[in-house]
Amino acid sequence: MASPEKFIVEKIANFDDMMELTNLIEQGTLTYLPHISVDSAIFSFHDGLLKVLVLRMKDLALYSLPGGYVGREEDLDGAAQRILRERTGLEAVYLEQCGTFGDHRRTGGKKSEDVFSTLGVDLPAGCWIMQRFISVGYYALVNYAAARPAPGHFDAECIWCPVDQLPGMIFDHREIAGKALETLRLLLDVKVPQSNLLPETFTMNELQQLYESILGKPLLRSNFQRKMLNMEILERLDKRFGGGAHKAPFLYRFRKSMPE
Amino acid sequence: MASPEKFIVEKIANFDDMMELTNLIEQGTLTYLPHISVDSAIFSFHDGLLKVLVLRMKDLALYSLPGGYVGREEDLDGAAQRILRERTGLEAVYLEQCGTFGDHRRTGGKKSEDVFSTLGVDLPAGCWIMQRFISVGYYALVNYAAARPAPGHFDAECIWCPVDQLPGMIFDHREIAGKALETLRLLLDVKVPQSNLLPETFTMNELQQLYESILGKPLLRSNFQRKMLNMEILERLDKRFGGGAHKAPFLYRFRKSMPE
């Protein structure tokens, strides 16, 4: 079985056959709304690092965030959930908007031509896929061990990348990832307990590593511990790691009901 | 001169002539992107109350938030700024997104037909204006005295309404206003100093009234004052109201540079 870190496929574009791609080009707007897309920053926490899921586009040194179009009969949030499910296998995880990206030159024109032609896909001039898109950005907080990253139609691989080592990305996807991280930082104390970033139980040290990884800076251990305990969101468990050693760290979990 | 509280116009729809309306219906998608709109909750603070600008649609007991379409060559944020300028005369005020609303049944079909037919506007079946729209919600924080509310093409009046007395609204505009208020509440301590909700100088009592009005609940005076002073965002001024009375309240203003 492949490592969950990296799935590689060899096809140029992962469509079952060229017919599927032709249909998308010629009749896509019967299925999807034009001009609107969804792009998601899917975060997980692993090896002490906050990571984001990125897709490498075939033959490009460029990466993208997982994204897609919105079905004509599909809710916007539903499209984001579907895209998350398609790329990670996960459902019902923490998923929220972080902003909508609508500069009129963010996609379209030569920018879109360059991406698709390098992918080996020649789109007809004026094709809906090549036009201007306004993209609704989402961010998801998922459990690393539960996610099963899978590439999409246009991708060569799907990998977890530490947020401070993001590769070159298409369009404004780096900005979307940045806005997602900024949104997470602003509301960290509220969002982390609601997320699956940590396993059910964790040590204070693991929680601090997660905070440091999201904030991108080290925190003073004593201050951090005091702040966390004062927030009254943690429940300290009796059991400890392993057996006996009196220095083994306490385990914590988030309280089921949070104080207001 | 009319009171700034209420501007009323008598025309059915405020188009210069029917030609302008016909153009919008028949050729609107040459100018605007289909399926995407902007709706804004524009907040001000007046008479101790947080108010939001709403538009009454002619012959309807229904109100709407100020909104509009996105020009094909216009940035999304630019569209929100234009709509704010058209409805209030204001530029360069605090304006941010609060979320994008995309349930697939939020507009379109019978919902849109009902609104436009009651307005006396008969739109042809399948007209782009009647189709599904995904709306990007914005919220603005403006100075009440500086705003000059003005109705739009389909509106009979444009009024400031206290946020806890919102009238019936079209589509999901009530939900958009609610999300805007929720976003403001979440980030209150950051947003209020950046806004023009208060005049340049204000008393602690006025600041508390603003907070209470946004949060929708009374706050303990001593706690509020201590919290505000601890945040180190306020500068206390020497001058006081009027002359002499030693009980006259201190005036404050927000510091130019905020602590991190």
With 70 as the cut, is the pLDDT of residue A74 above it? yes
Strands A32-46 and A6-8: unpaired
The size of the A-B interface in CB pairs under 8 A is 68
Confidence of residue A19 (pLDDT cuts 50, 70, 90): low
- Count of CB atoms within 10 A of residue A54's CB? 24
- Count of CB atoms within 10 A of residue B148's CB? 12
Contact of B101 with chain A, judged by CB distance below 8 Å, is answered with yes
- Mean predicted confidence (pLDDT) in A161-172: 94
pLDDT, mean over chain A: 86
Contact of A34 with chain B, judged by CB distance below 8 Å, is answered with yes
| Sequence-separated (6 or more) residues with CB below 8 Å from residue A80 | A38, A40, A95, A97, A136, A138
Measured in Å, how far apart are chain B's first and last C-alpha atoms?
45
Contact of A233 with chain B, judged by CB distance below 8 Å, is answered with no
Residues facing residue B179 across a β-bridge: none
Confidence of residue A17 (pLDDT cuts 50, 70, 90): low
- Count of CB atoms within 10 A of residue B99's CB? 22
b/e sequence A117-151, b meaning 16+ C-beta within 10 Å: eebebebeeebbbbebbbbbbbbbbbbbeebebbb
- Facing residue for A103 by CB, picked from B34, B75, B136: B75
The shortest C-alpha distance from B88 to chain A (Å) reads 23
Distance between CA atoms of residues B99 and A70, nearest Å: 16
The secondary element (H helix, E strand) that includes residue A178 is helix A173-186
Confidence of residue A6 (pLDDT cuts 50, 70, 90): very low
The shortest C-alpha distance from B181 to chain A (Å) reads 16
Contact of B127 with chain A, judged by CB distance below 8 Å, is answered with no
- Facing residue for A136 by CB, picked from B35, B75, B100: B100
Instruction: Test A102 with B77 for CB contact under 8 angstroms.
Output: yes
Interface test with A, best of B100, B131, B138, B179 (most A CBs within 10 A): B100
CB < 8 Å to B75, chain A: 102-104
Give the CA radius of gyration of chain B.
21
- Facing residue for A75 by CB, picked from B73, B99, B103: B103
With 60 as the cut, is the pLDDT of residue A5 above it? no
Confidence of residue A57 (pLDDT cuts 50, 70, 90): confident
Distance between CA atoms of residues B206 and B190, nearest Å: 17
Please return the burial class of B202, using the count of CB atoms within 10 Å of its CB with bins 0-12, 13-18 and 19+: buried
Complex prediction ipTM: 0.87
Contact A150, A8 (CB under 8 A): no
| Residue A127, helix vs strand vs coil | coil
10-residue mean pLDDT series, chain B (260 residues): 35 55 86 97 95 86 92 97 94 91 93 80 83 97 92 85 93 97 91 91 95 95 94 83 68 75
- pTM flag (> 0.95): no
With 90 as the cut, is the pLDDT of residue A247 above it? no
Phi and psi at residue B185, in whole multiples of 5°? -65, -45
Distance between CA atoms of residues B100 and B39, nearest Å: 9
Instruction: Test A102 with B187 for CB contact under 8 angstroms.
Output: no
pLDDT computed for residue A259 by the predictor: 47
Give residue-wise pLDDT tens across range B204-244.
Answer: 999 999 999 999 999 999 999 999 999 889 999 976 655 55
pLDDT computed for residue B42 by the predictor: 96
CB < 8 Å to B78, chain A: 104
pLDDT computed for residue A260 by the predictor: 44
pLDDT computed for residue B187 by the predictor: 84
Interface test with B, best of A31, A100, A106 (most B CBs within 10 A): A100
CA-based nearest residue in chain A for residue B97: A99
Q: Which residue has the higher pLDDT, A107 or B241?
A: A107
Q: Of B44, B136, B27, nearest to B89 (Cα)?
A: B44
With 80 as the cut, is the pLDDT of residue A122 above it? no
Most confident of A16-25, A69-78, A86-95: A69-78
Beta strand extents in chain A (DSSP E only)? 6-8, 32-46, 49-57, 63-64, 67-71, 94-101, 134-141, 155-162, 202-203, 234-240, 250-254
The answer to which of A185-189, A209-213, B198-202, B245-249 has the lowest mean pLDDT is B245-249
CB < 8 Å to A97, chain B: 99-100
